[in-house]
Structure formats: C-alpha cells, structure tokens
Amino acid sequence: MTFKAIVLGTGSAKPTLYRHHAAHVLNVHEQFYLVDCGEGTQLRLLECGINPLRLNGAFISHLHGDHVYGLFPLLSTMGLMGRKTPFAVYAPAPFGEVIGWHYRYFDTNLPFEVVYHEVDTRKHALLYENSVLEVWSLPLRHRMPAAGYLFREKVPPLNVRKEAIDRYRLGIAQITAAKRGEDVVLEEGTVVPNGELTYRPYEPRAYAYCSDTLYSAKVARLVQGVDLLYHEATFATAEKAMARETGHSTAAQAAKCAAQAGAGRLLIGHFSSRYKEMDVLLEEARAVFPATEIAQELAVYDIPVKRTEP
C-alpha cells in the first residue's frame, strides 16, 4: 500500500546543473502519476528507474514552460516505446489547444491516445478517482491560471475483526453486512453494533502539490491535515517583494501555509537559481514550521501506512 512522492526537479524557471525543472511522481498503491513535467523529465524518470509506460497520466499546474516543456518529448518517447494505453493529461486551458498544435507538427503517428481534461483553476474539484485514490484541484494564486493538486487516499473499506467472527460465529451474510457498515443481528436476536465488529485498516493519507503560487489561506484550508505538503518557496524573505511581484512564495510563506494546514511535513522547492546554499530558506521556513525539509532531487518521500488496529 505504497504512498510516496518522488521529486524529479526542484528548480524554478532558470535551471541549474543541480536543480532541474519541476516534476514529481506520485506512487499510490503502485499506480504512478506525474505532477508537472519540466524539460528533462524523461531523463529524471530514467535516473530513478520509473518506466514511463507505468505512468497513468500527468497533472500540469500551469502553462509556464518550466512546468510543461518535458511533456512533449515524453509523449514522443512513449510512442517509440510502443505505448498503447491512453495517457491522461490534466491541465488548465488552453492546454488542449497546445496538444492539438503539437500533433500538427510532431508525433503525428502516436500509437496511444492522449486524453485531455481541462482543469478549472478557480475550483476545488474532484478530477480523478479510482478505488483507492482521489485527486482534487487546488486553486492557486499565480500570475497566470494555475492549479495545485491534492492526492488523497480514499477511506478504506471496513475490515471485520477476526475475534468477532469467532466469538459471534458470524456467517458469510453477516460478515458481508458488517463490511457494509451494518449492525449484525445474531440468531438469538441480539444486535451487535457495527463498531464492535469492524475497524478501518488504515487512515487515509494525503499529499498536496502547490506550485507556482503566492501564499493562499484558502489552499491551507483545502489541504487541512495533509501528510506531506510540497509548497513552492522560490525566494527568501529578503526577496519578498519580488516574490509578490512574480506570483511566488517565500520559504516563510510556504511554512505559514503548512502550519495553518496542520501538515505532517513540508517540502519546499522551486528555488530561484540565485540560491546556491539552501540554509537561509530552510531556517526561515523552520522558524514558522519546524517539520520542513528542502526537497532533494530524485529523493523518495514515503508516507508510511498509518494502521489503526488491530
């Protein structure tokens, strides 16, 4: 029951040798999702051993090149690899047009379908779900329409306690009813409350990706209780005015969001190329939210399963 984020790039618009353009991979129960896709993403995938054919799709935050230029070469490579499975792309408008333009000149014979889903950047909407996961959009505040993404594990189905089955000699029909959340009536007429029979095997986990954005109190509310918050921290507090002007956050503002959200951990990234050492950014963030880490490229951030009982 994997739930982990792999950081592929931590740089901002101007890449450096040590900080590549934005891209994360989410692995949720061994299903893989790409979040943003800056130039060189396919090479970062190679470096961390993730076969692009395993990706279900990509969630693109906004249409600045450093978040999306890597998608076209990735599509081409998946074509060469013979991908047949459709690839979903969630992105703000007018990315559907951009894909159409791309097909006009490149990848004219792509052997798989790219299924575009337009993301309304003003809404907190459910974009995707499967049996274990929901992905929600987060309205960000950037200088162009931008969305963050919240990956939230669904509440898992009830498990029936082994000892309850034994004690009450439950039959198949009774076990099924208990799994549905119902109380169970025993043969002699006693009603056993569902709470005594069942438990949730684990607490749902959540990860949020918030880049590029100014600090947003609304986002902090929407990601309440998130286990791992990735929040951009392009600048230090000394460059606060520039952060505001360019639609970015300082490390302290990222930390403020994490603190208000009651996040488990905060990862900061999307650093301006002006910072060679990350100490100032880390210190400024930790002063507000101690559980902050500098996002490291190719590092895996695991959110361990939180088993409740038994």
Q: Using the rule CB under 8 A, is 69 a contact of a second copy?
A: yes
* C-alpha–C-alpha distance, residues 169 and 285, integer Å: 55
Q: Which is nearer to a second copy, 14 or 167 (CB)?
A: 14
Q: Which is nearer to a second copy, 96 or 201 (CB)?
A: 96
Segment (H or E) for 228 = strand 228-232
Q: Is 183 a catalytic residue?
A: no
Which tokens go with 275?
A: 């910072």
Q: Using the rule CB under 8 A, is 103 a contact of a second copy?
A: no
Q: Which is nearer to a second copy, 97 or 183 (CB)?
A: 97
Tally of residues, the chain: 310
Contact 63, 42 (CB under 8 A): no
Q: Using the rule CB under 8 A, is 143 a contact of a second copy?
A: no
Which tokens go with 80?
A: 């060469």
- Which residue stretch of 64-72, 220-228, 240-248, 281-289 sits at the interface with a second copy (rule: CB under 8 A)? 64-72
Please spell the DSSP secondary structure of 69-126, one letter per residue: TTHHHHHHHHHHTT--S-EEEEE-TTHHHHHHHHHHHS-TT-SS-EEEEE--TT---E
Q: Using the rule CB under 8 A, is 65 a contact of a second copy?
A: yes
Q: Using the rule CB under 8 A, is 139 a contact of a second copy?
A: no
Contact 112, 87 (CB under 8 A): yes
Binder among 54, 81, 125, 262 for a second copy (CB under 8 A): 81
Q: Of 36, 66, 107, 227, which one is the catalytic site residue?
A: 66
Contact residues for a second copy, defined by CB under 8 A:
13-17, 20-21, 39-40, 42-43, 46-47, 63-66, 69-70, 72-73, 76-77, 80-81, 94, 97-98, 101, 104-107
